[in-house]
Structure 1
Amino acid sequence: MSERSHESAQAGVKRLEAISSTWSKTGLYVAYIGIGLLAYATSLEGQTTTNLTIFATSAFKAHSLVSTVLVVQGVVLSVVKPPMSKIADVFGRFEAFGLSVLFYVIGFIQQAASNSVNTYAAAQIFYSAGQTGLQILIQIFIADTSDLVNRALCSTIPDIPFLANVWLGPALAETILTKLNWRWGYGIWSIILPIAFLPLALALVINQRKAAMRGILPSSPFDGESWWEMVKTLWFELDFFGLLLICVAFTLILIPLTLGSKAGWNNPNLVTMLVVGAACLVAIPFWERSKTLAPHAFFPRAFWKNKTIMAGLALSFFYFMAFYLSVYPYFQSYLLVVQNLPLTKAGRIVQTFTFTSTITSIVISFAIKYTKHYKKYMVAGTILYVIGLGLMIRYRTEDSSPTVIVGTQIFLGVGGSLTHVPAQLGVQASASHSEVAAATALFLTFLEIGGAVGSGISGAIWTSNVPKKLAMYLPEETKDQASEIFGNITLASTGWPMGSPTRMAINQAYQETMTMILTVAVCVALPCIVLSLLMTDYKLDEIDQGVKGVVIGGTQERVDHGETEPFAGPSSTRLMSTQGEDEDDDEEHGEDRQNSSRTRLLGSRKAS
């Protein structure tokens, strides 16, 4: 598999392998320090701006459009991951990182300067493109530079800053709102983020130059080609039409989910969007499985019959859909209104999930490193996740104390981390090095699609129930303000004192709607248990993905773009040469690449 992986790798993968071969261990650690700085900056930004969204939309008298903004974010987060991973494979990791940072900065500037909710929502396109680009590229970089045994631990590096930032973010947001305004909360990051990116950028550029000086940096696939030949090369290398189908399908399906309850499902525009989106969705597998139409398919053909990958993608979808039905987008609004909490405390309660899941992910990564297995943790995690959602229905009520609500968040965070980290590792373990970017991007793409669907369903339930319940419960003297209360979180949370008839009516409308959303979340999370049982429990130290160069966990063979030779991966065993086998063999037999690889292990025991 490692030999076939190297031969089938696209130019960007080979460039990264060449760069990795020039690293010393010290140089690699410096690159990881750069990853840590970038992760810290994006983490603090996210924890800060998350608390500003409701105030930005309320400034335009459109608080109810919070879910719409999140759906726009979710759509972009979903559709940008595939093309960004392809750009990284075709052009290189540094080039993709630079493009993501540029998108991020444009998004910050546009959000800070927006003068209407439409402009603010449109800014999410660039902002989310940059955010998701960095997210996927950091995980791809980690997959490129670590063996499977250490990968779960390395993949938690971007999460570590959340341990501090979940507490700093809400306080920073409140400070910005008090002393400046919400626009500054976006604008300052257009300066901070590029500075944070510099160490990683320099590490990649310097080692890229070293590789070029040694003559091991592969040439561009566009060298010597005419303009038309370059267009054709890009068409096939990027799988341009396949990516277009993916983007159009998910965009046209997800957007109507949050607009349907307001515009009405009889709206011909929404129906047209859904029909076209569904048609594109159906067309995706036919296009991606064609060797002629998609020789470099974003969704490799072997993946379609890989049980572990398909189950892992479905699990990520339902897992994050439930998350966006329970923690986002209306939990903070619920705390501000029903629990009557200040912004900082409400923000910290919401982020308890992130804090807990980060700690758990570090612990579980060490457990995976020493046991070399991942599945048992994932199965336990899905069970805890469902139980946690059930506890939320019982204890997320007006009568519950903040301490009890925090307890349910902790429970859910433990289950969520036990589910997410091992599931991503299982999907990555099922792919070769040339495919690991696609596998990682698919996992995170389905994760975001699930989040966008969950946010859309939350928005549909919220917008169809809260106004109706407000009109039903508000006393006569404030009944005419139902629309304004619904659209302005500040008015709903501070307009009337707790215990007054109007506030009691608002709280009841919020409470009943939240319970309804949580009930849907439990139903959505149940399939995760079954899907976790379907994934293969790989013995991680017996899998060779064909990663080359200096990596965390060991040094792989140096890159040789001339002759191809057998290659010893991160495990202690050595693979037999697979020369003569072609890539289509896996597709015909429909088995996991790692299963076929393990049958060629000399003297190793079969993975359970």
Structure 2
Amino acid sequence: MPSTEPTDQRKTRGWRFWMAILSLNLIGFVATLEGTVLGTALPRITQEIRTSGSMDYVWMADTFALAQTVVQPPLSQICNIFGRRTPMMASVALFALGSGIAGGANNSTMFIAGRTIQGIGSGGILLMVELIVCDLVPLRERGKYLGIVLSSSAVGAVVGPVIAGALVEADWRWIFYLNLPICALVILMMRFSVRLRHQNNATWKASLARVDWIGSSLFIASLCSLLVGLIFGGSDEKFAWSSWRVILPIVLGIVGWIAFHIYEVSGSCKEPSVPSILFSNRTSIVGFFLVFDASILMQWVAFFLPIYFQGVRKVSPLKSGINFLPFQVFLIPAASITGAILSKTGKYKPLHLTGFILCTLGLGLLTLLNDDTPTVQWVVFEAIEAMGQALLIPTILPAIQASLSESEVASSVGLYSFLRSFGWFWGITIPSIIFNNRWGQLEGRISNLDVRASLSGGQAYHSTGTHPSWSSTTLAEVVSVYTDTLRTLWYAAIAIAGIGFLAVFCEKSLALRETLETEYGLEQEKQVNTEEHGVNVKN
């Protein structure tokens, strides 16, 4: 029987609760940090280990994100069957194992294997960080605590490239080895302090019989195919978007994804990993779209604003990272404050509307950027965009869950987490296509044919540094093309933000539940309940 946490118990939460929050902050920080370090470190890594082909660089860069994305909905069902703590510790252990393999790699195959295992662990971690928060506090308070733990993850994203830059000068392997003691500490905290409970099945056979093996296999295979197509198409290697090597996996992935959803609603699937009830009302449907839309915008800005600093302002990659810090500095505290506001008011729709208004305004202001924009202006532009995102990050998941029962917490978090990661892929793919097409239209402005050739074919957002042999005329021409190409990107992003704004009007303003009814949670919070009702629960 689910346990219920009355409102007055919020003031008496014990050390186990805060130990759980601390462990979630710590592992969320590490998992997110690991997703951002490789861009800085990969050039050095490829110089020091053996590679077997031209596509190795692509797989070394992208296999982590691919593995992280595809495992999340299937893992959410595993959490319903086996509880939260064991899958969480298994995910942390996989993350540590992958870190050790990648850190000790002496060839690209071993490194890719390590990063894949790491990605699977990271996908489970990012899913369960939010899921455990949902198990610990009532829906009304989730925004506040989600703001706290997701802010820690954002810190990891900020400092990841900086840490990687420092460690790569000494020994890049420590980028991965440093995860091992942190993972060990988190596992110890989860094992001995964070006593999460669940109703246990009678036998392992009964537990395994509940797993949606066919559906999960279809989902993982189809999404892998789709994402491989996106990776190939966006790799700037030998595969154009019109190549069958790009089109075929994308088509197979879409067909497989459709087949997955058909199977999930069929009578053959007894316990779906993505149940159709998640799409049974317009508020949850809109919420899932909003997290996808917001994730596209987040990655869009995070990937291409540094290109503005390098391509237009002609600063170093390190300086461009520093120039992007205002975005993160405003994002992190604003997300925490937003979560607290949601918990206080219980109103998410005004926050969503304001968030997309600020995102749209921020993107509109980015169209004004050029090579002599004053520092104070681009800092303010970043701040506005960051605050728009901060109003969305901790508030979309509670809105989704307001329209669903507590029994769908795991499946809703799994789909939410997947769509967020899936949006990150599109947040690079869509603007990359726009950037390359617009660059191709404008590159005729560059009179130096050698420079034009060196920046064509998708190389413009990899070769943003100033070459010493360029004349002042050539430099001005290149900066002009960068400025106008990026301006087109921001216009396209405004359209995507505007779609999100309009979608918010389809949400219903639902009350956020103020009591916690769950079969999961901390042992001390369930002890009285289980003794009174004789529920057979197991850690």
**Residue of structure 1 aligned with 2:188, choices 187, 191, 198:** 198
TM-score with structure 1 setting the length: 0.74
**Residue of structure 1 aligned with 2:326, choices 352, 362, 368:** 352
Contact 1:257 1:457 in 2 (8 A): no
Give the unaligned 5+ runs of structure 1. 7-13, 15-22, 212-216, 565-608
Contact 2:21 2:149 in 1 (8 A): no
**Residue of structure 2 aligned with 1:427, choices 396, 400, 403:** 400
Letter paired with 2:343 = K
Letter paired with 1:302 = I
Q: Aligned residue pairs: how many?
A: 523
Q: Does 1:129 align with 2:101?
A: no
Measure how far apart 1:418 and its partner are: 1.0
Measure how far apart 1:143 and its partner are: 0.5
Contact 2:79 2:87 in 1 (8 A): yes
Query: Residues 193, 467 of structure 1: CA spacing in aligned structure 2 closer, same or farther, 3 A cutoff?
Result: farther
**CA–CA separation in structure 2 for the residues paired with 1:267 and 1:148:** 47
Measure how far apart 1:437 and its partner are: 1.0
CA RMSD of aligned residues (A): 4.0
The match for 2:7 is none
Measure how far apart 1:342 and its partner are: 3.8
Letter paired with 1:38 = I
**CA–CA separation in structure 2 for the residues paired with 1:324 and 1:154:** 23
The match for 1:558 is 529
Measure how far apart 1:219 and its partner are: 4.1
The match for 1:575 is none
The match for 1:584 is none
Query: Residues 421, 482 of structure 1: CA spacing in aligned structure 2 closer, same or farther, 3 A cutoff?
Result: closer
For residue 372 of structure 2, give the secondary structure of its aligned residue in structure 1.
coil
The match for 1:520 is 492
Equivalent positions of 1:527-538 (< 5 A) are 527-538=499-510
Q: Does 1:436 align with 2:409?
A: yes
Equivalent positions of 1:591-606 (< 5 A) are none
Superimposed CA distance per residue, residues 128-152 of structure 1 (whole angstroms, 9 cap, x where no aligned partner) = 2222211111111110111112211
**CA–CA separation in structure 2 for the residues paired with 1:318 and 1:273:** 23
Structure possessing the higher radius of gyration over alpha carbons: 1
The match for 1:593 is none
Contact 2:295 2:421 in 1 (8 A): yes
For residue 71 of structure 2, give the secondary structure of its aligned residue in structure 1.
helix
Query: Residues 426, 501 of structure 1: CA spacing in aligned structure 2 closer, same or farther, 3 A cutoff?
Result: same
Contact 1:254 1:453 in 2 (8 A): no
Letter paired with 2:85 = F
The match for 1:302 is 277
For residue 540 of structure 1, give the secondary structure of its aligned residue in structure 2.
coil
For residue 100 of structure 1, give the secondary structure of its aligned residue in structure 2.
helix
The match for 2:203 is 222
The match for 2:92 is 101
Query: Residues 402, 66 of structure 1: CA spacing in aligned structure 2 closer, same or farther, 3 A cutoff?
Result: farther
Contact 2:36 2:161 in 1 (8 A): yes
Query: Residues 42, 265 of structure 1: CA spacing in aligned structure 2 closer, same or farther, 3 A cutoff?
Result: closer
Measure how far apart 1:555 and its partner are: 7.7
Equivalent positions of 1:32-111 (< 5 A) are 32-42=21-31, 44-45=33-34, 48-49=37-38, 51-52=40-41, 72-111=63-102
The match for 2:381 is 408
- Of 130-139 and 538-547, more deviation after overlay is shown by 538-547
**CA–CA separation in structure 1 for the residues paired with 2:439 and 2:107:** 24
Query: Residues 563, 101 of structure 1: CA spacing in aligned structure 2 closer, same or farther, 3 A cutoff?
Result: closer
The match for 2:170 is 180
**CA–CA separation in structure 2 for the residues paired with 1:520 and 1:443:** 24
Query: Residues 479, 297 of structure 1: CA spacing in aligned structure 2 closer, same or farther, 3 A cutoff?
Result: closer
- Of 277-286 and 537-546, more deviation after overlay is shown by 537-546
Query: Residues 561, 333 of structure 1: CA spacing in aligned structure 2 closer, same or farther, 3 A cutoff?
Result: farther
Measure how far apart 1:562 and its partner are: 6.2
Measure how far apart 1:466 and its partner are: 5.4
Query: Residues 499, 387 of structure 1: CA spacing in aligned structure 2 closer, same or farther, 3 A cutoff?
Result: farther
Query: Residues 471, 188 of structure 1: CA spacing in aligned structure 2 closer, same or farther, 3 A cutoff?
Result: farther
Query: Residues 162, 256 of structure 1: CA spacing in aligned structure 2 closer, same or farther, 3 A cutoff?
Result: closer
Measure how far apart 1:505 and its partner are: 5.0
Letter paired with 2:278 = F
For residue 298 of structure 1, give the secondary structure of its aligned residue in structure 2.
coil
- Of 381-390 and 499-508, more deviation after overlay is shown by 499-508
**Residue of structure 1 aligned with 2:349, choices 356, 368, 375:** 375
Letter paired with 1:256 = G
- Of 60-69 and 158-167, more deviation after overlay is shown by 60-69
TM-score with structure 2 setting the length: 0.83
Query: Residues 527, 467 of structure 1: CA spacing in aligned structure 2 closer, same or farther, 3 A cutoff?
Result: closer
Measure how far apart 1:367 and its partner are: 1.4
For residue 509 of structure 2, give the secondary structure of its aligned residue in structure 1.
coil
Measure how far apart 1:432 and its partner are: 2.6
Measure how far apart 1:311 and its partner are: 0.8
Contact 2:70 2:223 in 1 (8 A): yes
**CA–CA separation in structure 1 for the residues paired with 2:339 and 2:26:** 21
Letter paired with 1:559 = T
Contact 1:42 1:193 in 2 (8 A): no
Q: Does 1:248 align with 2:221?
A: yes
Give the unaligned 5+ runs of structure 2. 4-11
Contact 1:166 1:351 in 2 (8 A): no
Superimposed CA distance per residue, residues 92-114 of structure 1 (whole angstroms, 9 cap, x where no aligned partner) = 32221122223323433454455
Measure how far apart 1:162 and its partner are: 6.0
**CA–CA separation in structure 1 for the residues paired with 2:70 and 2:137:** 27
The match for 1:363 is 337
**CA–CA separation in structure 2 for the residues paired with 1:288 and 1:47:** 34
**Residue of structure 1 aligned with 2:364, choices 370, 390, 402:** 390
Contact 2:326 2:383 in 1 (8 A): yes
**CA–CA separation in structure 1 for the residues paired with 2:155 and 2:408:** 34
Equivalent positions of 1:290-329 (< 5 A) are 290=266, 292-328=267-303
Q: Does 1:260 align with 2:239?
A: no
**CA–CA separation in structure 2 for the residues paired with 1:181 and 1:498:** 34
**CA–CA separation in structure 2 for the residues paired with 1:523 and 1:550:** 44
